[in-house]
């Protein structure tokens, strides 16, 4: 039983510590990804707007 208690102690510590580290890394990067996703989803609209507002003789 002692071996199992030690085993679960080590596994739990590793599990929770790695989660905290992952959380600290992912949270700001995830926010950046959200804005990047919106930017990419918005691209077709921006392109369409650019075409509509462009002066025909501009090119």
Partner 1 sequence: MLYLISIGIVGVWVNRYVQNVTDYLVGGRNAGLALNTASFIGTELGLVTVMYAAIEAFSRGFAYLMIPLLAVIAAFIVGQTGLVIHRLRSLQLLTVPEFFEQRFGRQVRVTAALLMALAGILNMGLFPKMGATFITFVTGMADSAQAEWMVNIVMTLLIVLVLLYTVMGGMVAVIVTDYVQYVVLSIGLLLALMMTLSAETTGWKAMVEVFATHKGDAAFNPVHPESYGWSYIVWMFVVYLTVNFSWGPTATRALTADSPDTARKTFLLGMPGQFVRLGIPAFLAFGAFAYFSQQPEWHTFFFPEGIGGPSTHAAEAMPLFLGKLLPSGLIGLIAAGLIAAFMSTHDSYFLSWASVIARDVVSPLKRRPLSDKEEINLTRWVIVAIGVFLLVWGLWYQLPDSVWTYMAITGNIYLTGATAALLGGVYWPGASRAGAMAALLGGLVSIIGVVPGVLEGGISWLTIGVLGLGNYGLCMILLIVFSWLFPDKKAA
Residues in contact with partner 1 by CB under 8 A are 1, 4-5, 8-9, 11-12, 15-16, 18-23, 25-27, 29-34, 36-38, 40-42, 44-45
Q: Select 4 or 56, whichever has its Cβ closest to partner 1.
A: 4
Smallest gap from Cβ 5 to partner 1, in A, equals 6
Q: How far is the CB of 43 from partner 1 (least distance, A)?
A: 10
- Residue 7, both tokens: 């085993």
Distances from the Cα of 8 to the Cα of 14, 20, 21, 34, 54, angstroms:
10, 18, 20, 37, 66
Tell how many helices (H) and how many strands (E) occur in the chain.
1, 0
């Amino acid at each position: 039983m002692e071996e199992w208690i030690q085993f679960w102690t080590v596994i739990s510590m590793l599990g929770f510590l790695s989660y905290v580290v992952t959380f600290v890394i992912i949270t700001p990067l995830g926010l950046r990804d959200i804005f990047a996703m919106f930017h990419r989803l918005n691209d077709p609209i921006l392109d369409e707007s650019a075409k509509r507002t462009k002066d025909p003789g501009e090119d």
